[in-house]
Structure 1
Amino acid sequence: MKEAGRAEGGGQALFEDQDFPSDDASLFSDSSTPIARLQGDVTWRRPQEICRSPALFPDNASLAHAKQGLLGDCWFLCACSFLLKSKQLLDKVLPPEQPQWDHSRYSGSFQFCFWQQGRWTEVTIDDRLPCINSTLCFSRCHSPTAFWVALLEKAYAKLHGSYERLWAGQVSEALVDFTGGLAERWSLGEAEEEEQQQRPEQDSDRVRGRSLDLSLLFPVKDECAVSCSTHSSPGGASELGQYHAMTVMEWLDVQMVSGSKVLLLRIRNPWGRCCWGGAWVGSGLGWSSVDPVSAVELQARVAEGEFWLDETEFLSQFDDVTVGYPISDEGHLKSIYTGNLLTHNHQLAGRWTRGHSAGGSRNSSGYGSNPKFWLKVCESGEVLVSLLQHRRWRNAEQCAQTALEDSDNATHQHYQAIALHMWKVEKRRFNLSRMLNKPPCASTHCHAYEREVVLREQLEPGHYLLIPSTYQPGAEARFLLRAFSSSSSSLSALKSPAPALPLTTDGEWETSYFRGSWAEGRTAGGSRNFLSHWQNPCFPFTVCAESAVTSGVNIRVNLRQSRPDADLHPIGFHIYKVPEGESERTLPRDEDPAASCVPHCYTRDVSLSCCLRPGDYAVVPSTYRPDCSASFTLSLARRIHRKVVKSQERLGRAIQEVSSLKYRIIVQR
Structure 2
Amino acid sequence: MDSEGLEQDAVRFAQLAVQQDQVGMYGPAAFYYTEAAQALFYALMAGSQHDVLQDKAHEYLNRAEVLQAAEKQQKGDSGALQQCSKQPQELKQARFLLDQAFVEDEQGDKDDAVELYMQVANLCLKTSKTTSDKELQTKLNTLTKQAVERVEELKGISPTVTNTPEKDDKQQRAARPATRIPPLGKNFFGNNNGKATESQSRNILPSSSSGEHYSREEIHVLRRTSLINGLEYMPFITADLKERFIFPVPFSDNHGKLALAPKQKEMLSRWLRPSDMFDDPTMIYAISSFSIKQTVVSDCSFVASLAISAAYERRFKKKLITSIIYPQNRHKEPQYNPCGKYMVKLHVNGIPRKVVIDDYLPVDRSGELLCSYSHNRNELWISLVEKAYMKVMGGYDFPGSNSNIDLHALTGWIPDRLSMHADHTEFQAESTFSMLHQRFHRGHVLITIATGVMTEEEGEQRGLVPTHAYAVLDIQEAKGIKFLQLKNPWSHLRWKGRYSEHDVKNWTPELQKALNYDIKMAQKVDNGVFWIDWDVACKFFDVIYLNWNPELFPVTTCLHSEWSSAEGPTRDAYSLSNTPQYRLEVTVPIGGTAVWVLLTRHITEKDDFAENKVFFTLVVYKTNGKKIYYPYDPPPHIDGIRINSPHYLTKLNLKEPGTHLYTLVVSQYEKYDTISYTLRVYGSRKFTLSKIPHPYSNYQRVKGEWKGKSAGGCTNYRDTYSFNPIYQLCLTRAGPLLVEVRGPRVIRRCTFRPLDGCSTG
TM-score by length of 1: 0.63
1:230 corresponds to: 451
1:168 corresponds to: 400
Partners of 2:273 and 2:339 lie apart in 1 by 11
> Which of 355, 361, 383 pairs up with 1:123?
355
1:297: how far off? Answer: 2.6
Matched, 1:440 2:666: no
2:142 corresponds to: none
> Which of 504, 518, 524 pairs up with 1:285?
504
1:179-209 deviation per Cα after TM superposition (whole angstroms, max 9, x unaligned)? 21212121222xx25x457xxxxxxxxxxx8
Partners of 1:323 and 1:150 lie apart in 2 by 24
| Partner secondary structure for residue 391 of structure 2 | helix
> Which of 536, 540, 561 pairs up with 1:350?
561
1:411: how far off? Answer: 5.0
One-letter amino acid of the counterpart of residue 605, structure 2: W
One-letter amino acid of the counterpart of residue 648, structure 2: V
Gapped runs of 5+ residues in structure 1?
A: 198-208, 256-260, 335-341, 396-409, 512-539, 561-570, 576-588, 600-669
Say if 1:296 and 1:493 are closer, same or farther in 2 by CA, change over 3 A: closer
2:111 corresponds to: none
| Partner secondary structure for residue 219 of structure 1 | helix
Contact 1:374 1:463 in 2 (8 A): yes
2:595 corresponds to: 383
Matched, 1:320 2:543: yes
Matched, 1:77 2:289: no
1:220 corresponds to: 439
Partners of 2:694 and 2:497 lie apart in 1 by 58
Partners of 1:346 and 1:292 lie apart in 2 by 47
Contact 1:274 1:307 in 2 (8 A): no
Contact 2:282 2:336 in 1 (8 A): no
Partners of 1:503 and 1:169 lie apart in 2 by 44
1:96: how far off? Answer: 5.9
Matched, 1:309 2:545: no
> Which of 529, 554, 572 pairs up with 2:748?
572
Partners of 1:113 and 1:196 lie apart in 2 by 36
> Which of 643, 649, 652 pairs up with 1:454?
649
Partners of 1:58 and 1:196 lie apart in 2 by 44
Contact 1:246 1:267 in 2 (8 A): yes
> Which of 269, 294, 297 pairs up with 1:68?
294
| Partner secondary structure for residue 518 of structure 2 | helix
1:405-449 deviation per Cα after TM superposition (whole angstroms, max 9, x unaligned)? xxxxx8571351111111222x45x574478412222343x2112
2:382 corresponds to: 149
1:478: how far off? Answer: 1.4
Contact 2:481 2:533 in 1 (8 A): yes
1:365 corresponds to: 574
1:487: how far off? Answer: 0.8
1:97: how far off? Answer: 2.0
2:682 corresponds to: 484
Say if 1:221 and 1:237 are closer, same or farther in 2 by CA, change over 3 A: farther
Contact 2:295 2:370 in 1 (8 A): yes
Which piece of structure 1 moves more, 454-463 or 352-361?
352-361
Contact 1:187 1:320 in 2 (8 A): yes
Partners of 1:132 and 1:498 lie apart in 2 by 65
| Partner secondary structure for residue 173 of structure 1 | helix
Mapping of residues 493-642 of structure 1, within 5 Å: 493-497=691-695, 551-552=726-727, 558=744, 572-574=748-750
1:451: how far off? Answer: 1.1
Partners of 1:454 and 1:219 lie apart in 2 by 21
2:619 corresponds to: 421
Partners of 1:285 and 1:103 lie apart in 2 by 45
2:474 corresponds to: 250
Partners of 1:262 and 1:131 lie apart in 2 by 45
Contact 1:66 1:142 in 2 (8 A): yes
Say if 1:160 and 1:549 are closer, same or farther in 2 by CA, change over 3 A: closer
Contact 1:359 1:368 in 2 (8 A): no
Say if 1:489 and 1:359 are closer, same or farther in 2 by CA, change over 3 A: farther
1:589-638 deviation per Cα after TM superposition (whole angstroms, max 9, x unaligned)? 97979x99x98xxxxxxxxxxxxxxxxxxxxxxxxxxxxxxxxxxxxxxx
Gapped runs of 5+ residues in structure 2?
A: 1-85, 94-126, 131-246, 713-721, 729-740
Partners of 1:472 and 1:247 lie apart in 2 by 34
Partners of 1:474 and 1:367 lie apart in 2 by 16
2:63 corresponds to: none
1:525 corresponds to: none
Say if 1:63 and 1:219 are closer, same or farther in 2 by CA, change over 3 A: closer
Mapping of residues 32-43 of structure 1, within 5 Å: 34-35=262-263, 38=265, 41-43=268-270
Contact 2:619 2:636 in 1 (8 A): yes
Say if 1:120 and 1:313 are closer, same or farther in 2 by CA, change over 3 A: same
Matched, 1:89 2:320: yes
1:111: how far off? Answer: 1.1
Contact 1:235 1:317 in 2 (8 A): no
Contact 2:356 2:388 in 1 (8 A): yes
Say if 1:104 and 1:359 are closer, same or farther in 2 by CA, change over 3 A: closer
1:542-593 deviation per Cα after TM superposition (whole angstroms, max 9, x unaligned)? 7799x9797349x997476xxxxxxxxxx62449xxxxxxxxxxxxx97979
Task: Give identity over the alignment, percent.
Answer: 20
Matched, 1:16 2:252: yes
1:430-479 deviation per Cα after TM superposition (whole angstroms, max 9, x unaligned)? 574478412222343x2112111111122242221111111125553111
Partners of 1:384 and 1:283 lie apart in 2 by 44
Say if 1:438 and 1:210 are closer, same or farther in 2 by CA, change over 3 A: farther
Say if 1:283 and 1:64 are closer, same or farther in 2 by CA, change over 3 A: closer
Higher strand share: 1
Contact 1:229 1:246 in 2 (8 A): yes
1:217: how far off? Answer: 1.8
One-letter amino acid of the counterpart of residue 12, structure 1: P
Say if 1:499 and 1:240 are closer, same or farther in 2 by CA, change over 3 A: farther
One-letter amino acid of the counterpart of residue 421, structure 1: V
Contact 1:358 1:474 in 2 (8 A): no
Partners of 1:391 and 1:62 lie apart in 2 by 30
1:109 corresponds to: 341
One-letter amino acid of the counterpart of residue 385, structure 1: V
1:502: how far off? Answer: 5.5
Partners of 2:477 and 2:415 lie apart in 1 by 25
Higher helix share: 2
Contact 2:327 2:342 in 1 (8 A): no
1:650 corresponds to: none
1:289: how far off? Answer: 3.9
